[in-house]
């Protein structure tokens, strides 16, 4: 049966290639890839189940290659884009204002997300004491308890701020730390500021450096475009992998938590749309132009890997200036993540509170919870496991047993898909709102219909 599965998989990849050669819209190809992945995954679950493991070797190869290509571009893209944006920024004094407003949006929405998660959990009547722990859940809980010591130092805000200042930029260029992306943004911003500072005394050097950065940027952006055009193939493989390898029986046993999680995520997404509408930014246009980015974030479960798409959508489809787009996307991978650092830890805390005799609706519980989530949302890496680290920090700070978080291991991947999409939405909304407030948003580009975008813009 493995040959049947592989033949189908290759055929689906070729179908997407044929659509590309027929110049079908990028968004259409993304949706088709999503649908084909779901159907193919279900086919393997119920028809060729015995051949899933062998087939997944090849499906994983396609998925992992695409995600690795995207991650490969994160650091070069952030560096050249931030430096280029700053040296070309007409008013360099905007940098502090832009940074402050991006951070305010990211952390502010994380606090709202925490409140939403808490209220939805109470509304659904979820209680950790109602969940039966199996062998896998018990093992996961013990593992989380042992892991607590490695993340206890993440929470203090001062320590986190110190950590984002790089000591070895070459180490951070390898992505060695959870704060590597933000540290690269900081370093790149300092380089840009330094170039601005030498323009009067050494105009030739500043001009030569700026020209060199623009050349490198052109090459990097072209490479990013080439990689992004592979998105439908990556989504096909990622969705197939998820559908075919998920334990649906375990998910059915936790269906109420899954439903509550997605209700909270959807409510928070609607709040994002309300925020945009309140700033005079059409939320319907936002959804249309950001949807392919959400689909990939949902499929891949990595905010970090989605960063090139997040930046591209803001600049080319929404008219956000390069400086704002890169700062919001870069900071958004590790700060204020609404799904992983906001909704999820709040839901766990509220579920666990009754088990230790606490009232999750009391002011004495909710206010400290929201404040702790706001502080701990700094430095949560936008990769797999980020939500777990956020939960460990919040639960330990609230004096709640972290072992109970292991009860959700069976549904973690399914929930993480929605959380990641919300994280990415938060970063883009922060970019749009900030750009609008400082005059860095081109509304003509934002309002331009998708059908009129150039081939390169639409991928």
Q: Is 200's pLDDT higher than 60?
A: yes
Averaged pLDDT for residues 227-231: 85
pLDDT digits (tens, 9 = 90+) for 30-67: 889 988 988 998 888 888 878 888 888 989 999 889 88
The three-point CA angle 313-298-261 to 5° equals 125
Averaged pLDDT for residues 363-386: 77
What number of other Cβ atoms are within 10 A of residue 76's Cβ? 19
Query: Residue 343 and residue 126: Cα distance in Å, rounded?
Result: 14
| Cβ(411)–Cβ(291) below 8 Å | no
Averaged pLDDT for residues 140-164: 53
Q: Is 302's pLDDT higher than 60?
A: yes
Averaged pLDDT for residues 310-320: 92
Query: Residue 316 and residue 294: Cα distance in Å, rounded?
Result: 16
Q: Is 28's pLDDT higher than 80?
A: yes
Count Cβ atoms within 10 A of the Cβ of residue 61 and give its class: 0-12 exposed, 13-18 middle, 19 or more buried.
exposed
Averaged pLDDT for residues 423-437: 95
Nearest to 394 by CA among 64, 144, 190: 144
Q: What is the pLDDT of residue 249?
A: 65
Query: Residue 347 and residue 386: Cα distance in Å, rounded?
Result: 15
Query: Residue 328 and residue 105: Cα distance in Å, rounded?
Result: 9
Averaged pLDDT for residues 158-179: 76
What number of other Cβ atoms are within 10 A of residue 208's Cβ? 11
pLDDT above 70 as % of the chain: 84
Q: What is the pLDDT of residue 145?
A: 47
| Cβ(271)–Cβ(426) below 8 Å | no
Q: What is the pLDDT of residue 182?
A: 75
Three-class secondary structure of residue 16 per DSSP: helix
Q: What is the pLDDT of residue 144?
A: 47
| Cβ(340)–Cβ(419) below 8 Å | yes
Averaged pLDDT for residues 171-195: 80
Give the predicted TM-score (pTM) of the model.
0.76
Q: For 378, phi and psi rounded to 5 degrees? A: -80, 125
Query: Residue 269 and residue 122: Cα distance in Å, rounded?
Result: 19
Contacts of residue 166, defined as CB under 8 A and 6 or more positions apart, other chains included, come to 172, 183, 184, 186, 187
Mean pLDDT of the chain: 82
Architecture of the domain defined by 2-458: Orthogonal Bundle (1.10)
Q: For 440, phi and psi rounded to 5 degrees? A: -115, 20
Averaged pLDDT for residues 136-144: 46
Query: Residue 36 and residue 13: Cα distance in Å, rounded?
Result: 10
Question: What DSSP string runs through 58-88?
Answer: HHHHHHHHHHHHHHHHHHHHHHHHHHHHHHT
Q: What is the pLDDT of residue 262?
A: 94
- Which comes out higher in pLDDT, residue 159 or 414? 414
Contacts of residue 88, defined as CB under 8 A and 6 or more positions apart, other chains included, come to 210, 322
Q: What is the pLDDT of residue 138?
A: 46
How far is the CA of 329 from the CAs of 181, 187, 337, 436, 439, in angstroms? 10, 16, 11, 16, 18
Query: Residue 232 and residue 274: Cα distance in Å, rounded?
Result: 30
Query: Residue 451 and residue 21: Cα distance in Å, rounded?
Result: 18
Q: Is 453's pLDDT higher than 50?
A: no
Q: What is the pLDDT of residue 425?
A: 96
- Which comes out higher in pLDDT, residue 351 or 409? 351
Among the residue ranges 263-277, 351-365, 434-448, the one predicted with the least confidence is 351-365
Averaged pLDDT for residues 344-362: 87
Question: What DSSP string runs through 85-102?
Answer: HHHT-S-TTHHHHHHHHH
CB burial of 305-337 (b: ≥16 within 10 Å; e: otherwise) equals bbbbbbbbbbbbbbbbbbbbbbbbbbbbbbbbb
User: How many CA atoms lie within 13 Å of 97's alpha carbon, on the beta-carbon side?
Assistant: 12
Query: Residue 291 and residue 335: Cα distance in Å, rounded?
Result: 22
Domain definitions of the chain by residue range: 2-458
Query: Residue 67 and residue 300: Cα distance in Å, rounded?
Result: 7
Write the DSSP symbol of residue 132: P
Q: Is 191's pLDDT higher than 60?
A: yes
Averaged pLDDT for residues 196-223: 87
User: How many CA atoms lie within 13 Å of 351's alpha carbon, on the beta-carbon side?
Assistant: 28
Q: What is the pLDDT of residue 90?
A: 53
């Amino acid at each position: 049966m493995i040959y049947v599965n592989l033949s189908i998989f290759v055929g689906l990849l070729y179908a997407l290639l044929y659509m590309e050669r027929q110049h079908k819209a990028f968004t259409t190809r993304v949706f088709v890839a999503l649908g084909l992945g779901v159907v193919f995954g279900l086919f393997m679950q119920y028809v060729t189940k015995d051949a899933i493991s062998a087939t997944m070797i090849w499906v994983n190869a396609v998925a992992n290659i695409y995600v690795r290509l995207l991650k490969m571009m994160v650091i070069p893209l952030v560096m050249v884009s931030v430096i280029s944006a700053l040296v070309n920024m007409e008013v360099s004094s905007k940098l502090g204002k832009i940074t402050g407003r991006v951070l305010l949006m990211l952390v502010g929405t994380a606090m709202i997300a925490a409140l939403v998660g808490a209220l939805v959990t109470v509304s659904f009547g979820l209680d950790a004491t109602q969940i039966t722990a199996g062998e896998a859940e018990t093992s996961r809980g013990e593992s989380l308890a042992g892991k607590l010591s490695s993340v206890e130092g993440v929470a203090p805000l001062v320590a986190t701020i110190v950590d984002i200042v790089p000591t070895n930029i070459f180490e951070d260029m390898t992505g060695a730390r959870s704060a590597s992306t933000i540290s690269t943004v900081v370093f790149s911003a300092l380089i840009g500021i330094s170039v601005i500072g030498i323009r009067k005394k050494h105009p030739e050097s500043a001009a030569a450096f700026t020209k060199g950065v623009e050349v490198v940027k052109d090459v990097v952006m072209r490479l990013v475009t080439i990689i992004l055009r592979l998105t439908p193939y990556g989504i096909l493989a990622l969705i197939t992998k998820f559908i075919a390898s998920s334990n649906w029986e375990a998910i059915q046993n936790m269906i109420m938590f899954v439903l509550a999680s997605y209700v909270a995520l959807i409510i928070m997404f609607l709040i994002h749309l309300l925020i945009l509408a309140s700033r005079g930014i059409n939320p319907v246009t936002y959804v249309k132009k950001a949807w392919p980015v959400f689909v990939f974030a949902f499929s891949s479960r990595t905010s970090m890997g989605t960063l090139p798409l997040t930046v591209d959508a803001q600049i080319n489809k929404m008219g956000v200036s390069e400086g704002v787009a890169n700062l919001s996307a870069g900071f958004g991978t590790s700060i204020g993540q609404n799904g992983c650092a906001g909704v999820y830890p709040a839901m766990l805390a509220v579920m666990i509170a009754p088990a230790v005799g606490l009232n999750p609706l009391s002011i004495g519980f909710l206010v400290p919870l929201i404040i702790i989530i706001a502080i701990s949302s700094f430095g949560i890496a936008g990769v797999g496991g980020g939500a777990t680290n956020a939960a460990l920090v919040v639960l330990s700070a609230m004096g709640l047993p972290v072992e109970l978080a292991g009860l959700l291991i069976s549904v973690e991947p399914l929930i993480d898909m929605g959380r990641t999409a919300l994280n990415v939405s938060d970063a883009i909304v922060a970019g749009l709102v900030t750009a609008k407030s400082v005059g860095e948003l081109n509304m003509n580009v934002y309002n331009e219909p998708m059908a009129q975008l150039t081939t390169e813009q639409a991928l």
